[in-house]
Structure 1
Amino acid sequence: MKFLKKGLKIVVFLVILIVVLIFVYSKVNEPKYSGELEIKNLSDDVTVYFDEIGVPHINAQNQKDAYLALGYIHAQDRLWQMELIRRIAPGRLSEIFGKDLVSTDVFFSGLGIEEAADKTIAGLDKSSDSYMLTQAYLDGINQYLEEGSTPLEFRLLGIEKEKYTIKDIYNVFGYMSFSFAVAHKTDPLLTEIKEKLGKPYLDEVLGAYSKNLLINKMDSVSKINSNFSKSVSAIMDQMPVPPLIGSNSWVIGADKTKNGKVIFANDPHIGYSQPSVWYQNHIKTPDFEMYGFNIALMPFPLLGHNKNYAYGLTMLANDDLNFYIEENNPKNDESYKIENGYQFYETRTKTINIKGGADTTFTVKVSKHGPIMNGIISHLEDERPVAMNWIYTQLKNEMLDVSYGISHSNSINDFKKSVAKIHAPGLNVMYGDADDNIAWFASAKLYQLRDSLFSKMYLNGASGKDEIIEYLDFSENPKSINPKSNYVYSANHQPDSVRGKLYPGYYQPENRSKRIVNLLEAKNDFTKQDVAKMLYDVTSSVDHNIARDLLKFVSKGELGASEKQAFSILENWEGVYLKTSIAPTIYNRFLFEFLQNTYKDELGSGFDLFINSQLQDQVLVNQIDRENSVWWDDISTKNKVETKEEIITKSYKSAIAFLQNQLGANVESWTWDRVISVEHEHAIGKAGGILRKIFNVGPFKTIGGNEVINNQIFKLDSTGIYKITSGPSSRRVVDFSDVENSLGIIPTGQSGNIFSDYYKNQAEKYVDGKFEKMKLNEAEIKKSEHVLILKPKE
């Protein structure tokens, strides 16, 4: 008995010791939010007030000190995120994660982002404000790297610390730009449809591009008041850093608001992750103020506002990436055919360091159009050399000046000059100000090809006839400034005509755009509360109509009792995606079965890519409208040609049978919250088990679905379980009648440090559609409980 008591005491002692050690370790390694720190290269004290949600309000006597402080503060909350994102473009993820990410590293390192960065950096004006403030920001990061605590992730993975440079920043620009691109998912698929299935199949798909569009009109006044695809998709899916997807934004003019001032709204859609994408911060100096949302390693915010103006962005989705088939010289495959002869490929040798394995070295061939993808995508079956021509690496990169300029503008004209420098990725840049200006700018380097050339399929690299003829001046880009409608909006839809034609791109269907317009047209006395409610809206403008159009072709005489009950629920649906809604569960399974029965027999393994693509979204309504279609026939059934009614009835019955097996016989229990959820995954938490519980945030039940304003993006697949992968990366409402009480929220929290109180403190509010105050009032800010003073170090 004494032995048992003694053993129990030892166990209790060990448990207490472990708890104490964990507590001490957490305190040592949590970010420092109060007290004093000495920092080199400061010219004066900098006071940082951390508000209730962990947003740093940086008060400095000059901007250089402010940006140095921002770098230090940003690093103590997000150093792990910075480390991950800087490793993508140069292909350095395998160094820390091992062989599973070699294909990702080979792909990104072969795109030419690093080479483009070197070229850009060599030409930078080292005396410019943008450059000097960037160096101050990097200085702050590197001082934290040297003197601050080491993130737990660094210790778990054995990461050696390396100083950050401006090249890391340009590598982040490059990754961000590529994650916006859509052509790499669509162009190879369309080419394959044409070459393997034939022109009738392609023509039906392409016929959808000019239909079901809501066009962003250039209604403005002149006065200004002050396989390949599948491989790339798989690479993007396994990225430990989220891709940028889409977005909503609208700006309501003064004449359409209750208080007579502009209201600005924006929610960029980005892959969910932990840490969240954006880092909120507020900088104030005697000559500058900005409340911004920064991506890791970007000194200047891509979203921001102050008392004078607000800005944000959505993805333009213009076509800025083309593929060219090159023709090798039959006598020397180190050269390729051009219009007037042959030209040698440039070669680049790359080495990937692999944790726990031998390094791998490979060579990338580069034509005048870009890198040959055959060498950097392992499953590219096409024997022809396929070159990727990407505007981001082809043209002058001024993105550092752009991000500095939009955050340091003094007028709408000043702002416009900055967004005119954007070459890629294409962005819808949204603007509103205290002088009652509102604006939308389609910002990208648009170009012209010869007439009748279709850029969404592989182009001929040898003929010289498929080259870009001309780059357009920004003055020709679609835009809208102070329109008669008293609002501007963007939801990744088709912009207005350029030179008399709709500019090609990979635009989303009208779903979100139509809903936004319907809500904006409904009243003329908007408040910020109305706009906040809009950002959380979950009513689809089209899904219920698609459902009814499908149900018209279901043979009701073949239906059993449960099938008739589900039919009635779906038929009476108004497109709302609430937790308790039943119709979305039925609709999304019905949709999957319909798409599978229509396209999978022809597309084979390409179906999984097609079903969750922008292409499928565009094609859907058009396909349902077709009475006769080459796609209706199931080619796997011999001596039979299926009709539209047969395909749709089969799809409906299969959907109901699946749901009965998945969720039970009671149709009334098939609520949306049983099949959909969101979890913000950390790169280490993806391993599962205890690491998932420690690092991930969630899972949560939520409302919303694909292509509603509260866009909760998931993949349709055979499982019938919808794990949300992307959505609003922030929600913001800036009301210039009460700008000091503007609203914002991010999905999890400010900090990426698991020992911080701000690691996930916004998560539940975000899921519930609530907001936090984006503070600008100086007196209120100075009441903050946590104050950190950064002092010059001798």
Structure 2
Amino acid sequence: MKKLVLVLLFMLILGTVGYQIAKFNFGPKYNGEITLEGLNAETEVFFDDFGVPHIYASSAEDAYQTLGYVHAQDRLFQMEMMRRVGTGTLAELLGEDLLDVDKFFRTLGIPQHAQMSTAAWHSEGDSEWKSATEAYIKGVNQFILEGKIPIEYTLLGSKPRDFTINDVHAVVGYMSFTFAMAVKTDPLITKMSRQLGPDYMKALSVHTLPEHHIIPNNYPKRDSVSLQIKTNTSLACLLEKLPVPLFMGSNAWVIAPSRTASGEVIFCNDTHIGFSQPSVWYEAHLEYPGFSYYGNHLAGVPFGLVGHTRTHSIGLTMFENDDQDFFEEKLNPNNPNETIYGTGFSPIKSRMDTIKIKDKDHVLFEIRETNHGPILNAVVPEIAGMTDNPVASWWVYVLEPTRAIEATWKMGHAKNIQEVEDGARLIHAPGLNIMYGDKTGNIAWWASAKLPIRPAHVNSKIFLDGTNPLDEHTGWIPFEENPMSINPESGFVATSNNQPDTLSNGMYYPGYYYPGDRWDRISKTIMSRNDWTQESIKTLQLESINETQPKNAKLLLSEISKTDFPEDEAILNALGDWSGEHGLEEIAPTLYYKWIYHILSEMMVDELGEEDFQNYLGTFMAVRSTPLLLQSENSPWWDNKNTPKIENRKDIINKALSKSLTELHAQHGSNSRKWQWRKSILSEHPHPLGAKKPLDRIFNVSTNPMAANEESVNKLAFTLNGEGIYKVNSGPAMRIILDFANVDASESILPTGQSGNLFSPWYKDQAAMFVEGHYRPQLMKEEVIKGTYRKKLVFK
């Protein structure tokens, strides 16, 4: 691999000639003719100015076979990474460093679940979505057999194997895991609860607080299940090794005709996902008799999870519901292969798994399961360090085969709102907020998931008693009682990963919800006028204001005396006047985040230790809890238990400010008026091979600074740290705006580009546009596409 890297660098150094040689050997083919075996009729693909394929076919099978081919030539290595995460086979390609990641995913049960889903798939009869899926897979495999394989395989000394339906299910499994917040959070909450006690815990937002913003429900009238509506080193360190991004959250809102200038629905969606190269979503426009669809596809998944026809649009955000519980078991003292369960015992099942490792011998790996699920002690360090008792994972996703492929087909091909809901019902996990708008004027949101009913005494964030059957779930909430809102009087629906309102039984469904700062800004902004347009709504989608942080800042400033910091009057005044805007010329965020970090560190490291403190900063709790922590004047967190003095809030806030200002002077100079936020921001979209130098300079996509923030509508997230340099690690994976008054004028943008092939002109052509807040069209009008296309492939 080192020799190949040197050869590649040498070729690039040679300039144009070297680049053209590499492009000839590894670059995609966008012009000319290609023969696809089994194609029923000639299919045309027009690539627009941004590399989006517009596929014109005579049948669904031809359209999806062609999509499989063009998707693979732009994103095959991304498909490889995602299927290997979901099948637990990363070490086979990337080496021993990924062995622990493979062990984790295999223990959690994702590869086994993919096999379960594949067996169910093969046992079912024929269907339109099965035929289309198989055609897509056929197209992918024809590219693998006949196309130019991406250079990443050559660098790794590997060749891709055929793509299978099991790989499709594995990719869905990877996506589902990234939505599963419990395994990243519950061990820490349990440890804190056990070691620190209730006085510490009540100063944190483990559960939703009254001041958090709630998504209102609006349940429709129904006839049976039909709608009656108008018919128009830690686990965190381990996961950092993943060569694919994690889904982090999202925004979506749909505005009813009563609030738009056009008198028709406006639809907006921006999914928040870890930054990566290539971008997560692959856009494709399909046209065949009876179907016209513009969609956003995951690598290896044939149907767009987000997309629109000329009559309806589908979007999504993460529901963030709690669908995973952990049971701490107790072993039978006379038989280590049994757990105590009720008044008797339950056997522990064991199976051996073989993991292939690149350039190493295979590893045999034992996976043990109780009646509640797989035991995680061996693969989650936080659990192993907390208890010697087996801790088993009960996770809704692995309990039954996924029907996500069928669901996405049905929602994309739906003729009305009822058919979209019928598709949403099929998603048992992960929890998704399905967003909907249509040409008839309907707007809707469904929290789509199979929700377990837990006993009233159960705290789902704390390890449960594996010996007690009374801690287990007792049934499932009917889909009709899931959170949802259909055509509310407010004239909009919106979701931003925050808590839905109470269910029909009066309870808040537990989850890992954000505090609702984004939702509140979206709600207040939409409600402020009744003449929204596609252009005016961009201001909201690009907004970087957080209203909670200035309130936090004012509380902190009330605990200090500015006269104690005479050299820093400018930055302290700026923080006092701060609106929560994160523009690159602002100076207030530069001090705010540094100060908050040092406050939290001074409060918590003495109780948690440095590693658990860093883990805490990566949880939903950290976002939700900071205001409460700062307001809790008598909280035990304020005292440093390692000193004889009993510290109070004022002590910690002033100490943290002194430390912050000293560091910022060293970092940015003595004049605090020049501490612009842009100087603290880095932005890069990392490629799976970019973790190795010098490949980072070849494959990664770096950009100018962007308005990094915590919980603004245009969420560009980073990890809070004491260095004062913040690397944006997630943000909108696309920004979509559509007004049904003119579907052909709908717009979107990707963070880098449409292609994942280094030698494609569309590898990073949208990166600067994304940073600058620009959009580009989602073309659907045939005469425009065929009159302005950049390149054309004909499949015969």
- Cα distance in 2 between the residues matched to 1:415 and 1:50: 30
Q: Is the 8 A contact 2:66 2:795 kept in 1?
A: no
User: CA separation of 1:478/1:15 partners in 2, compared to 1, >3 Å: closer, same or farther?
Assistant: closer
User: CA separation of 1:414/1:672 partners in 2, compared to 1, >3 Å: closer, same or farther?
Assistant: same
Correspondences of 1:424-443 after superposition (within 5 Å): 424-443=429-448
TM-score (norm 1): 0.95
Query: What is residue 99 of structure 2 aligned with on the other side?
Result: 102
- Residue of 670, 679, 685 corresponding to 1:674: 679
Query: What is residue 232 of structure 1 aligned with on the other side?
Result: 235
- Matched residue SS, 2:647: coil
* AA aligned opposite 1:526: W
Query: What is residue 553 of structure 2 aligned with on the other side?
Result: 547
Correspondences of 1:25-64 after superposition (within 5 Å): 25-64=22-61
Deviates more, 1:771-780 or 1:400-409: 400-409
Query: What is residue 80 of structure 1 aligned with on the other side?
Result: 77
Query: What is residue 484 of structure 1 aligned with on the other side?
Result: 489
Query: What is residue 376 of structure 2 aligned with on the other side?
Result: 373
Query: What is residue 493 of structure 1 aligned with on the other side?
Result: 498
- Residue of 413, 419, 422 corresponding to 1:417: 422
TM-score (norm 2): 0.95
Matched, 1:595 2:594: no
- Cα distance in 2 between the residues matched to 1:785 and 1:470: 54
Could you list the per-position Cα deviations for residues 310-337 of structure 1 after superposition, in whole angstroms to 9, with x for gaps in the alignment? Answer: 1110001000111111111212212222
Q: CA deviation at 1:22?
A: 3.8
* AA aligned opposite 2:528: A
- Cα distance in 1 between the residues matched to 2:729 and 2:480: 37
Deviates more, 1:22-31 or 1:426-435: 22-31
Q: Is the 8 A contact 2:278 2:752 kept in 1?
A: yes
- Residue of 652, 662, 665 corresponding to 1:660: 665
Q: CA deviation at 1:212?
A: 2.5
User: CA separation of 1:375/1:221 partners in 2, compared to 1, >3 Å: closer, same or farther?
Assistant: closer
- Matched residue SS, 1:54: coil
- Matched residue SS, 1:725: strand
- Cα distance in 1 between the residues matched to 2:703 and 2:754: 19
Q: Is the 8 A contact 1:46 1:58 kept in 2?
A: yes
- Residue of 661, 666, 688 corresponding to 2:693: 688
Q: CA deviation at 1:220?
A: 5.2
Matched, 1:736 2:740: yes
- Matched residue SS, 2:703: strand
Could you list the per-position Cα deviations for residues 592-646 of structure 1 after superposition, in whole angstroms to 9, with x for gaps in the alignment? Answer: 01111111111113111112321111111112221211111111111x2111111
Q: Is the 8 A contact 2:205 2:624 kept in 1?
A: no
Q: Is the 8 A contact 2:87 2:167 kept in 1?
A: no
Q: Is the 8 A contact 1:208 1:619 kept in 2?
A: no
Query: What is residue 151 of structure 2 aligned with on the other side?
Result: 152
Correspondences of 1:122-271 after superposition (within 5 Å): 122-124=119-121, 125-206=124-205, 209-219=208-218, 222=221, 223-226=228-231, 231-271=234-274
- Residue of 517, 523, 526 corresponding to 1:520: 526
- Cα distance in 2 between the residues matched to 1:641 and 1:282: 64
Q: Is the 8 A contact 1:69 1:790 kept in 2?
A: no
- Residue of 747, 763, 767 corresponding to 2:767: 763
Deviates more, 1:322-331 or 1:431-440: 322-331
* AA aligned opposite 2:67: L
- Cα distance in 1 between the residues matched to 2:622 and 2:127: 46
- Cα distance in 1 between the residues matched to 2:196 and 2:606: 11
- Cα distance in 1 between the residues matched to 2:674 and 2:199: 43
- Cα distance in 2 between the residues matched to 1:16 and 1:164: 35
Could you list the per-position Cα deviations for residues 574-598 of structure 1 after superposition, in whole angstroms to 9, with x for gaps in the alignment? Answer: 1100111100111111110111111
Q: CA deviation at 1:116?
A: 1.6
Q: CA deviation at 1:231?
A: 2.0
Matched, 1:289 2:292: yes
Alignment RMSD, CA only?
A: 1.7
Q: CA deviation at 1:219?
A: 3.1
Gaps of 5+ in 1: 1-12
Q: Is the 8 A contact 1:262 1:436 kept in 2?
A: yes
Gaps of 5+ in 2: 1-9, 222-227
- Cα distance in 2 between the residues matched to 1:615 and 1:787: 48
- Cα distance in 2 between the residues matched to 1:686 and 1:720: 22
- Cα distance in 2 between the residues matched to 1:43 and 1:365: 49
Query: What is residue 326 of structure 2 aligned with on the other side?
Result: 323
Deviates more, 1:576-585 or 1:358-367: 358-367
- Matched residue SS, 2:627: helix
Q: Is the 8 A contact 1:706 1:712 kept in 2?
A: yes
- Cα distance in 2 between the residues matched to 1:697 and 1:732: 22
- Cα distance in 1 between the residues matched to 2:596 and 2:18: 53
Could you list the per-position Cα deviations for residues 360-382 of structure 1 after superposition, in whole angstroms to 9, with x for gaps in the alignment? Answer: 21101011211100123356222
- Cα distance in 2 between the residues matched to 1:163 and 1:419: 30
Could you list the per-position Cα deviations for residues 636-673 of structure 1 after superposition, in whole angstroms to 9, with x for gaps in the alignment? Answer: 111x2111111112122221111111111110110000
Q: Is the 8 A contact 1:34 1:786 kept in 2?
A: no
Query: What is residue 624 of structure 1 aligned with on the other side?
Result: 630
Q: CA deviation at 1:789?
A: 4.2
* AA aligned opposite 1:766: F
Q: CA deviation at 1:492?
A: 0.4
- Matched residue SS, 2:777: strand
Identity of aligned residues (%): 38
Query: What is residue 117 of structure 1 aligned with on the other side?
Result: 114
- Matched residue SS, 2:313: strand
Could you list the per-position Cα deviations for residues 228-266 of structure 1 after superposition, in whole angstroms to 9, with x for gaps in the alignment? Answer: xx7221122221100001000110000100010100000
- Cα distance in 2 between the residues matched to 1:208 and 1:376: 27
- Cα distance in 2 between the residues matched to 1:15 and 1:453: 60
- Cα distance in 2 between the residues matched to 1:36 and 1:107: 44
- Matched residue SS, 2:778: strand
Deviates more, 1:206-215 or 1:407-416: 206-215
* AA aligned opposite 2:584: K
- Cα distance in 2 between the residues matched to 1:152 and 1:245: 29
User: CA separation of 1:19/1:50 partners in 2, compared to 1, >3 Å: closer, same or farther?
Assistant: closer
* AA aligned opposite 1:168: D
Q: CA deviation at 1:15?
A: 10
- Residue of 325, 341, 357 corresponding to 1:354: 357
- Cα distance in 2 between the residues matched to 1:563 and 1:594: 18
Could you list the per-position Cα deviations for residues 23-78 of structure 1 after superposition, in whole angstroms to 9, with x for gaps in the alignment? Answer: 13313422111111110010001010110000000000110100000000000000
Q: CA deviation at 1:160?
A: 2.4
User: CA separation of 1:33/1:564 partners in 2, compared to 1, >3 Å: closer, same or farther?
Assistant: same
- Residue of 542, 567, 588 corresponding to 1:536: 542
* AA aligned opposite 1:26: K
User: CA separation of 1:667/1:68 partners in 2, compared to 1, >3 Å: closer, same or farther?
Assistant: same
Correspondences of 1:494-509 after superposition (within 5 Å): 494-498=499-503, 499-509=505-515
Correspondences of 1:744-755 after superposition (within 5 Å): 744-755=748-759
Query: What is residue 224 of structure 2 aligned with on the other side?
Result: none
Query: What is residue 7 of structure 2 aligned with on the other side?
Result: none
